[in-house]
Amino acid sequence: MYAALWRLLPGPWWVRLLIVLLLVAAVLYGLFWYVFPWASEFINPQEVVVG
């Protein structure tokens, strides 16, 4: 799957690397600013009991 994505990206290897890094940064930004706060409403870590 990653090889197919790598072949679809345009340009030389360093441009592809830059595009992949920007995509990873965008995904992480979306996770930290939108998905994780939304999911934290459903998870209550205060109810954890360690035996």
Residue 33 lies in a domain: yes
Residue 30 lies in a domain: yes
Return the pLDDT at 49: 73
Tell me the per-residue pLDDT of 11-42, one tens digit each, with 9 for 90 and over: 999 999 999 999 999 999 999 999 999 988 88
Distance CA 48, CA 21 (A): 36
Query: Among residues 1, 45, 5, which one has the least CA distance to residue 23?
Result: 5
| Domain tally, the chain | 1
pTM of this structure: 0.71
Residue 34 lies in a domain: yes
Q: Are 26 and 16 in contact (CB under 8 A)?
A: no
Range of the domain at 18: 2-40
* Eight-class DSSP state of 12: S
Residue 25 lies in a domain: yes
Burial class (CB in 10 A: 0-12, 13-18, 19+), 16: middle
Return the pLDDT at 32: 94
